[in-house]
Amino acid sequence: MLDQVAVRHRVVFDLDGTLVDSVPGLAASANQMLAEIGRDPVTATDYAAFCGWGMRQQIKQCLIATGGVPEDGLKPYLARMMEIYSADPVHGSVRFEGVTDAINQLAARGYGLAVCTQKPEAQARQLLEALGLMPPITGLTGGGTLDVLKPDPAMLFHAADQIGTGPIVYVGDSTVDEKTAENAGVPFLFFEGGYRNGDVTAETRFADWSQLPSLIP
């Protein structure tokens, strides 16, 4: 096990809808799968509402929205979606405006940076590296890294443990992220420009990434 280094704060981010708008690429991959089985497409807005609970739930909701889960179950359609999306998980994904400057500021001030996401780890890493976010982000826990998903706090702690010791702050855009922080007993900072799949009650929130560095002591 690597020796842990003390940092000012450990800042852990959600990925989809927080650092990156990835819905266009996800929806395109889902719609290719749906077209192959004779289904109508879903809109990017519809797909954004499915985000937050992991790829399995996203595809289940796509199938329900377009006629229901077929009799042979979810598994083959999830596998096909993963095959399509894994071929190019960067396609259609962009950083939210101001993300790069904000995380560079935090890194320069001595904060450890990590990502905790439901997206499979290999795809998340490829996306972060392609968009120039890793580094300065150095820690990553994705779907499949552990045998649990958010809001289980084990995912958040696993990501944070990769970037040293010190207080943890979690930054996200959804009720799932808020519940993850609550379960872990750590402060939650809510990004209002993401996909929000429910009512978020967090008092500390920001709509512009330029605001984030001032919110973390």
pLDDT tens string 125-183: 999 999 999 999 999 999 989 999 999 999 999 999 999 999 999 999 999 999 999 99
Whole-number Å distance between alpha carbons of 85 and 80: 9
Q: How many domains does the chain have?
A: 2
Domain residues for the domain of 58 are 23-86
Q: Are residues 80 and 99 in the same domain?
A: no
The domain that contains 47 carries what CATH number?
A: 1.10.150
81 three-state secondary structure: helix
Domain CATH for 169: 3.40.50.1000
198 and 131 belong to one structural domain: yes
Q: Give this prediction's pTM.
A: 0.86
The answer to whether 46 and 40 have CB atoms below 8 angstroms apart is no
On whether residue 4 sits in a domain, the answer given is no
Task: Report the run of H or E that residue 34 belongs to, with start and end.
Answer: helix 23-36
164: in domain: yes
Domain boundary pick from 64, 86, 108 = 86
In a domain, 114, yes or no: yes
The residue out of 62, 86, 110 marking a domain boundary is 86
pLDDT tens for 65-101 read 999 999 898 999 999 988 998 888 898 899 999 999 9
Kindly state whether residues 61 and 137 are assigned to the same domain.
no
Share of the chain above pLDDT 90, in %: 72
- Catalytic positions are 14
